[in-house]
Structure 1
Amino acid sequence: MRKTFLTSLAVLLASGTAFAQSASDGKVKIGILNDQSGVYADFGGKSSVEAAKMAVEDFGGKVLGVPVEIVDADHQNKPDVASNIARQWYDTQQVDAIMDLTTSSVGLAVQALSGEKKKITINTGAATTDLTGKACTPYGFHWAYDTHALAVGTGGALVKQGGDSWFFLTADYAFGYSLEQQTGDYVKANGGKVLGSVRHPLSSQDFSSFLLQAQSSGAKVIGLANAGLDTANSIKQAAEFGIVQGGQKLAALLFTLAEVNGLGLEAAQGLTLTEGYYWNLDDKSREFGKKFFARTKKMPNMIHAGTYSAVTQYLKAVQKAGSDDSDAVAKALHEMPVDDFFGRGGTVGANGRMIHDMYLLQVKKPSESKEPWDYYNVLATIPGKEAYLDPAKAGCPLVK
């Protein structure tokens, strides 16, 4: 009897230890933190939350035998608000990881806090390469796209088409600066010139003075280093000034399917842009797109698809690690290939950058669109190694 008791006790203790390693609080909890009411609400917003929930459901709702929970909040594009929410999630709500993090200033702030707390962040909505450059952490990952990929894609395409002089209309925060610099550097490296730039506040309503400066510069290309409704409003107001009709091109440096839908094909037709996912690319993409549409009544952009991919890969990493311990999960994320409809053949660099193919796209004319949400012609596939910085050259102090 004593032997049986000791054996049973050993099994009980072992299972208790395993449970503690898998999830000390009996669950795995992921926070989706993004803009749900402002200029980027369509860019990520509640649709990213739904994508995260879809990923959990498709994974089976559990990992290592414990339930997976999604929580979400609106950071209002304010780094202090985002940091306060993240701190509360970590300190009182047992959140294990935070994802999306639309807006680069928010992404940088929350990634820094998470590094201190030894918690995982996977940025799918923020763009700046600083996340995997000078601001990298052992627990920070960047998933869907970044400013370098946008510069290589959209900027590179327009330079090749003869757009060798640029003027930038730039959102006045970290994302805009990074996108302007990356694209400007790429233009100059390929023999072009940057004639100037002007910065506008986030969520501007009136772009007239900025557009007039861009128009008077005489630049062949006006680079819109902004996103969301700011880009859509820039394009609408540029039409009022006859900028495109006057011979200048608009480069929407961060524009996604959600914003094209909001603007409409009549206004958006002909725009060249770069995304990491398009629902009508092939059968795998269409399968996810149609499932997402059945749930949200809209087709996903690269942020929504990237969030699904990031949540799924995080759960796979927890499973591989046999624990939700951040060090073990981070190690697994670095080691595991990414092979889903989004990050086909993807790899994670030592700086946390997920390297995957991007797509150069052009918005169709209304007459070319064959069905709802059929908005893009695919011009080229940009291999991941061309789209993203070499991790060894990205400026991350963790990479030797």
Structure 2
Amino acid sequence: MRASARLKRYVSTGAALAALLVAGGATAGQNAIKIGVMIDGSGFAQDTGGIGAVTAAEMAAADYGGKALGRPIQIISADMQNKPDVASSIARQWFDQDQVDTITDLPVSSVGLAVQQIAKEKHKVLLISAAATTELTGAQCSPYSIQWADDTAALANGTARAVVANGGKKWFFITADFAFGQAMETAASNVIKAAGGEVVGGVKHPLGTTDFSSYLLKAQASGANVIGLTNVGLDSIATIRQAGEFGITQSGQQLAGFIVFISDIHTLGLKTAQGTYVTTGFYWDDSDQTRAFAKRFFEKRQRMPTKEQANTYAAVLHYLKALDASHSDDAEKVAAEMKAMPTDYFGRKGSIRADGRVLYDLALYQVKKPEEAKYPWDYYKKIRDIPAAEAFRPLADGGCPFVK
């Protein structure tokens, strides 16, 4: 099936935009500010982003008023099947034929890197709200890309450093064998060793693995007191569930998830997931602002937003503000304006560095025991705040070639 046949279009629901599209018909669509949400529609990351990321982008467009630069905002989406070649084909069609102005979400690091290269060639802004590899702001950076996702360096600093300080000195990794998993394990291992811990072993598994028994048996036999999960989505869910069946946490070994989502915990339930460490920049129950956004999102999707979906909302809203502030849709001008403007991350101020890295504070949480939860989706208790300066890799260490 050709990429064009897979495209699904969604239009923001704001009343002003709806009226414009009805009145303007095809002309309105041709002149619209077009935002493409490139999602995993049916794979391991479908719950962490998926159609919920499209909803988040729609919410941002509606909240902004449905127009930017005096033009209607149109949200389109496509399932890139977690394949860089499929994602690249969609991106080229969007940029070359469909006049898409920017792409967001991009839940797989290899996909993010592939689409970033195309966006750089085409001089298009990229809003990366899911892919986590630091290469996106490192050696393969683009002057037009903004990375909103918690990256591998920040997740490693948040989880590994705190767990080692709490006595988790010996680690074994269960790692997804793709760009994110490998980068995450490397970053975490460096932090663990620097903090005085050691890595005693690890295994790698392909995406979409359903049986983790052999990997968990190796982890049990390794002598590690912490099992680091450097996988994501359905793979993380399966690992944590089967670890519970093996009685791993009951026997004294601790699970540390480097990229665990609230949707994962909801699927697992607190009885299975309790005690797991989670580092994240967004938790729906953290503040009045996050709760207000989450309540509106819940009304649309009947589930609380993940950090990926929250990142998509924040990224799209900031992009729309930059369009009007720069009075242009030129990628160079818009990217420069996005970096000059302070970010508003659900009431918390942040900034965007020259390499495109969005800086905001994170926090380390631990999944609650069932008896600790007081209401639905009450899943996390905060262990410590992680300032942005501590979490994210220093600009000078990234190797971004256009940063002086």
Same fold by TM-score greater than 0.5: yes
2:402 is aligned with 1:393: no
Corresponding residue for residue 85 of structure 1? 90
Aligned to 1:374: 378
Q: CA RMSD in A?
A: 1.3
1:242: how far off?
2.2
Determine helix, strand or coil for the equivalent of 1:39.
coil
- Hey, what's the Cα distance between the residues in 2 that align with 1:127 and 1:33? 15
Helix, strand or coil at the partner of 1:339? strand
Report the counterpart of residue 139 of structure 1 in structure 2.
Answer: 144
**Structure 1 position 197 matched with structure 2 position 182:** no
Match of 2:363 among 353, 359, 363: 359
For the structure 1 residues 213 and 138, does the alpha-carbon distance in structure 2 shift closer, same or farther, using more than 3 Å as the test? same
Deviation at 1:25, TM superposition (A): 5.5
Residue 292 of structure 2: which of 283, 287, 295 is its match? 287
**Within 2, Cα distance between the matches of 1:61 and 1:334?**
23
In the alignment, structure 1 segments of 5+ residues that lack a partner are 1-22
Q: Post-superposition shift, 1:275?
A: 1.1
Does the CA-based 8 Å contact 2:173-2:229 persist in structure 1?
yes
Q: Which residue of 1 aligns with 2:280?
A: 275
Aligned length: 377
**1:241 maps to which residue?**
246
How big is the shift at 1:146?
Answer: 0.7
Give the distance between the partners of 2:394 and 2:338, measured in 1 at CA.
18
What aligned pairs does 1:1-400 form with structure 2 within 5 A after superposition?
26-341=31-346, 344-400=348-404
> In the alignment, is the contact (CA less than 8 A) between 2:29 and 2:74 conserved in 1?
no
Note if contact 2:255-2:275 (Cα within 8 Å) is conserved in structure 1: no
* d(CA) in 2 for partners of 1:316, 1:25: 21
Matched to 2:215, the amino acid is F
The TM-score with structure 1 as length reference comes to 0.92
Q: Is the CA contact (8 Å cut-off) linking 2:274 and 2:370 kept in structure 1? A: yes
Counterpart CA distance in 2 for 1:239 and 1:288 is: 33
Tell me how far apart the structure 1 counterparts of residues 264 and 246 of structure 2 sit (CA, whole Å): 21
1:214-245: CA deviation from partner (whole Å, max 9, x where unpaired): 11111111111001110110011112222222
The alpha-carbon deviation at position 246 of structure 1 amounts to 2.1
> What amino acid is aligned across from residue 46 of structure 2 in structure 1?
A
Give per-residue Cα distances to partners, 1:78-133, cap 9 Å, x unaligned: 11111111111111100010001001111111011111111111111111111111
| Segments of 4+ moved more than 4 angstroms | none
Over residues 273-313 of structure 1, what are the superposed CA-to-partner deviations in whole Å (9 max), with x where a residue is unaligned?
01111111111111111011111111111111110000000
For 1:318 and 1:259, locate their aligned partners in 2 and report how far apart those are by CA, in whole Å.
35
Corresponding position of 1:19: none
SS at match of 1:345: strand
Instruction: Single out whichever of 288-297 and 234-243 deviates more from structure 2.
Output: 234-243
Radius of gyration: which is bigger?
1
Stretches of structure 2 that go unaligned for 5 or more consecutive residues are: 1-27
Q: Deviations over 1:242-282 (max 9, x none)?
A: 22222211111110111111111111111110111111111
> Distance between the aligned counterparts of 2:400 and 2:170, measured in 1?
31
Take 1:385 and 1:237, find their aligned partners in 2: how far apart are those partners?
36
Distance 1:266 1:244 in 2: 11
Instruction: Report the alpha carbon displacement of residue 385 of structure 1 after superposing the two structures with TM.
Output: 1.0
Paired letter, 1:364: K
Q: Which amino acid aligns with 1:245?
A: Q
Q: Per-residue displacement from partner, 1:28-73 (whole Å, max 9, x unpaired)?
A: 1000001011110001110010000000000000012100110001
Letter of the structure 1 residue corresponding to residue 382 of structure 2: V
Letter aligned with residue 173 of structure 1 = F
